[in-house]
């Protein structure tokens, strides 16, 4: 199934009304069955199903590596596509193996330029959005601001699950230090990265209050674009050079 489709629309302008075909992002149901039982049904952009499910299971602390998935099969039904997953690990075996290492501790003196460069990278990894203008993206970087993995989806949660799943499958999640999101940061997204090495999250939009609370508890840096200029830092201040803050004039 294609990640987007063209539909007939009417484009109304001052100079007239026109019939057009416009590309829209595909939103399709995915039914998830684990060990023969229904686990969940989600809406997503088709593609990267194994990465999506791998990341989703990791976020739910059901697996710690792709090896925990014994079998993965995709089929179709009248209600949508179905993913059949068979796991071979017990929940108790995973809990002690999911906590990430703090690879971001040596990432100090982060600058405004570093953050802006990371966020500006989003457009390079959103080919569907370039066509439909309706998808989110998630990108993982290492300590040296190198891209490890990038994914997009109509759902911001799905984009993050896909990128975590990709790095798990490629055995590169341990290198991840920075996450860049095209959306706001909610508590659900923060929760997905707690059990990864990610300690810096840069986003286009502001985080929610609960996301900030969780980020401060887990020492996660949160920063986003400012509407006027520069960036807004909500937590993890120690990763920035703020030596001149006492001499700064308070913003209006």
Q: What is the pTM of this model?
A: 0.87
Q: Are 121 and 139 in contact (CB under 8 A)?
A: yes
- Let me know if domain 28-97 sits in CATH 3.10.20.10: yes
Residue 244: its pLDDT value, please?
52
Q: Which residues of the chain carry a pLDDT beneath 70? A: 89-106, 243-252
User: Which ranges in the chain are annotated with CATH 3.40.140.10?
Assistant: 103-247
What is the C-alpha separation between 207 and 189, in angstroms, rounded? 10
Beta bridge partners of 113: none
Residue 243: its pLDDT value, please?
65
* DSSP character string of 144-211: TS-EEEEEEESSHHHHHHHHHHHHHHTT-GGG--EEEESS-B-HHHHHHHTTSS--EEEESSPBPHHH
Q: Are 63 and 89 in contact (CB under 8 A)?
A: yes
Residue 98: its pLDDT value, please?
43
Encode pLDDT of 109-129 as tens digits.
899 999 999 999 999 999 999
Interhelix angle 49-59/156-169, rounded to 10 degrees, is: 100
* Neighbour-count burial of 10, counting CB atoms closer than 10 A to its CB (0-12 exposed, 13-18 middle, 19+ buried): exposed
**CATH level 3 topology of 103-247:** Cytidine Deaminase; domain 2 (3.40.140)
Residue 226: its pLDDT value, please?
93
User: Which ranges in the chain are annotated with CATH 3.10.20.10?
Assistant: 28-97
């Amino acid at each position: 199934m294609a990640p987007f489709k063209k539909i007939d629309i009417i484009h109304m302008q001052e100079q007239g009304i026109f019939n057009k075909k416009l590309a829209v992002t595909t939103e399709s149901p995915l039914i998830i069955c684990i060990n023969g039982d229904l686990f969940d049904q989600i809406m997503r952009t088709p593609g990267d199903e194994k990465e999506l499910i791998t990341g989703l299971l990791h976020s739910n602390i059901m697996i710690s590596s792709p090896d925990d998935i014994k079998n993965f099969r995709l089929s179709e039904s009248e209600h949508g596509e179905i993913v059949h997953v068979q796991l071979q690990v017990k929940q108790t075996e995973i809990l002690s193996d999911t906590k990430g290492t703090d690879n971001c501790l040596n990432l100090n003196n982060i600058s405004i330029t570093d953050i802006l460069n990371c966020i500006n990278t989003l457009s390079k990894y959103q080919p569907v959005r370039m066509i439909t203008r309706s998808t989110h993206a998630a990108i993982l970087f290492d300590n040296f601001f190198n891209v490890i993995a990038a994914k997009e989806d109509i759902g911001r949660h799905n984009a993050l699950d896909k990128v975590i799943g990709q790095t798990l499958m490629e055995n590169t999640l341990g290198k991840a230090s920075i996450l860049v999101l095209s959306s706001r940061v909610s508590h659900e997204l923060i929760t997905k990265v707690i059990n990864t090495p990610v300690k810096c999250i840069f986003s286009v939009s502001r985080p929610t209050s609960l996301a900030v609370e969780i980020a401060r508890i887990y020492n996660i840096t949160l920063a986003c674009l400012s509407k006027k200029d520069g960036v807004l830092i909500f937590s993890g201040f120690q990763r920035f050079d703020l030596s001149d803050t006492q001499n700064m004039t308070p913003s209006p």
